[in-house]
Chains A and B, each alone.
Chain A
Amino acid sequence: MESKDLEQEISSLTAELLELKNEYATLDSSRFVELESLQARFDEFRKYSLLDSKKRLRDIAGRRTPKWYVVDIPFAYGATTPQTSSVEISVRPFVCTQMQSIYLITDEDPTHFPKVGDPLANSAVNSAGRYYPTTAYFATESTLKHSWNAITAMQPPVLGTSPNPAWHSNVIGELFSNYSSGGTDYRFVGWNYPDFDFEIKIANSGRRWTDDKIPAAAFYGASNNPLFLGHSGFVDANDRLEVTAHPTARPSSEPSINAQGICKFVFFGYEIDTPLILSDVFGY
């Protein structure tokens, strides 16, 4: 090849190489733009999808097993002050779906109950081992709806010999009252029912589930249903559920708790077999 031809060939090759470089740069730039766009779409998808993030309890893997936790809060006869008790969660986090409370009577002194029989006398037995609700609310409601309505509907009304406990004068004040007459102390049917307000706290995290004292009636239980939680509450492994029970019934100059017993606050739900700390997973 002539020298001139050689130079021309080299020049042509150089021009082609330059063109190739420019084309490659353009192609590479668009490749990266496409890649960045793909990454952006992926990030957006991940941000709003449930696939890569645990946003709900149902996203946590691990076998579920039903679980009850019972916080026992004992009250002596005549107690007036609030009592606090707690229960420690196992090595598995607990998800609470339902709550209810119940009052186990442990009082073995028959004189703490209303008198029975005609003429009235202290009962020869007690009711230790039986259960009261933690509020008279539902029974009072039933009395007003069914018992009193039935009595009112009957003509003539059913009367007893006052103050026979089978007799009602259809006034709310009497249901929970006591009085003395002729040297005898009379108590009416609502006398022994406790009434509580509750506070619930997750001990270690300091989270409070209640902002103030919540009436026992709001947790149902006595009405053949528990309280179903609108949003399941979780408590991490080894944390503690703490409940404070405040007696609210205060008959004048009489004790608030008229039957010794154990207030049992019952949390029901399930535990998850997982080593995860749920408050870390969910960020709260």
Chain B
Amino acid sequence: MSTIDSVSKAIALKHEIHTLVSKQDTDFDSAVLDLNTQISEMAEAFNPYVNVENVPGARTPKWYTLDIDFVTGETQAKSRAFEISSEGAFVMSSLQAYFKYTSENASDYYPDSNTLAFGSTPSGRYMPISTFPLIGDGVLQNIVQIAGSSPSDFTVNDFVSQGMYDIPEFSLNFELESTSQQWCDKWIPGGLVYTANNPLYFSGGCYVDRSERLIVTAAPDIRVPVGGTVRLVLHGYQILGEVTPEDTTRI
């Protein structure tokens, strides 16, 4: 082999190695890039804050109450709002609804004081906001005898007549003021907020954000038999701190 041939062969080999290195590096880089892209996509898809439990901040139990006052005989719906503190988002666990008698007028209670001459009133006592928890779970009842929608049928010889008449019948509606988002598509019967034995439990990590207002409307299904206050109790926990679910996450 001539010197020139040897040089040519060496040069060809050098090119071959160059091509090999160049091609294989490109393939390798491409494969590495592809893997990196997949990892990046996975990291993008993984949101560590997707659940409200992962939002940082100290938790503290919290109760909010809301009173909506009614006088005897009212038939119109009324609204008031829970106002969440600026401490942080409030995550709801449960809701209870009560009716607290406020009327100190004995004649407001059924039957009027002329019939039974009440010496005092149940003012300050708590009742359910619906007869449903009692009727649904109690013994079979002739409902028109114990829970009419207007007072009547009382006879002193039959002490159970309209015995539940003074228990009101309310339906509820909820709306987040900031977004005008309705929580209900229709009125929710107060009897389904339970309370007699259990609260209504929320799930899914629902929350009301800091300083947000939750408007509650209570509508009498029958005329309010005795003046009193619809008293709602919202229980859950507050996430204290600057971080809220809404502004740091995609929850």
Contact = CB atoms under 8 A, between A and B. Distances in A.
Interface of A: 3, 6-7, 10-11, 13-14, 17-18, 20-21, 24-25, 28, 31-32, 35, 38-39, 42, 46, 51-53, 57-70, 72, 87, 90, 95, 97-98, 100, 102, 104-105, 110, 113-114, 116-118, 123-133, 136, 138-140, 142-143, 146-147, 165-166, 175, 189-193, 221-226, 228, 232, 264, 266, 268-270
Given A139-B136, A147-B139, A270-B204, A118 B42 contact: no
B192 A116 contact: no
B17 interface: yes
A102 B132 contact: yes
Interface stretch (B56-64, B100-108, B195-203): B195-203
Nearest to B51: A58
A48 B249 CA distance: 25
Contact of A70 (B135, B141, B186, B251): B186
Nearest to A13: B10
B6 to A, nearest CB: 4
Interface of B: 3, 6-7, 9-10, 13-14, 16-17, 20-21, 24, 27-28, 31-32, 35, 38-39, 41-42, 45-47, 50-52, 92, 130-133, 135-145, 147-153, 155, 157-158, 160-162, 169, 174, 176, 181, 183-189, 191-192, 194, 196-198, 200-207, 221-222, 245-246, 249-251
Contact of B20 (A24, A116, A132, A192): A24
A92 B160 CA distance: 48
18 contacts: A10-B3, A28-B24, A39-B31, A58-B50, A62-B250, A63-B251, A65-B181, A98-B203, A127-B147, A130-B132, A131-B136, A139-B140, A142-B137, A191-B142, A224-B137, A266-B192, A269-B203, A270-B203
Given A125-B151, A130-B131, 11 more contacts: A52-B45, A117-B158, A125-B152, A125-B162, A130-B221, A132-B136, A142-B137, A142-B139, A192-B142, A193-B140, A269-B203
A124 B152 contact: yes
B130 to A, nearest CB: 6
Nearest to B172: A68
A238 B11 CA distance: 71
Contacts of A146: 139
B185 A68 contact: yes
A64 B205 contact: yes
A61 B250 contact: yes
Nearest to B43: A51
A189 B194 contact: no
Contacts, number: 259
Contact of A17 (B7, B10, B183, B206): B10
B136 A222 contact: yes
A106 to B, nearest CB: 10
A14 B135 CA distance: 101
A102 B6 CA distance: 98
B145 A116 contact: yes
Nearest to B47: A61
Nearest to B185: A69
A175 B228 CA distance: 36
B107 to A, nearest CB: 19
B51 to A, nearest CB: 6
Nearest to B249: A61
A142 B144 contact: no
A113 B250 contact: no
A123 B145 contact: yes
Contacts of B145: 113-114, 116, 123, 165
Contacts of B205: 64
A60 B50 contact: yes
Nearest to B14: A17
A28 B22 CA distance: 12
Contacts of A130: 131-132, 135, 143, 147-149, 169, 221-222
B169 A116 contact: no
A42 B38 contact: yes
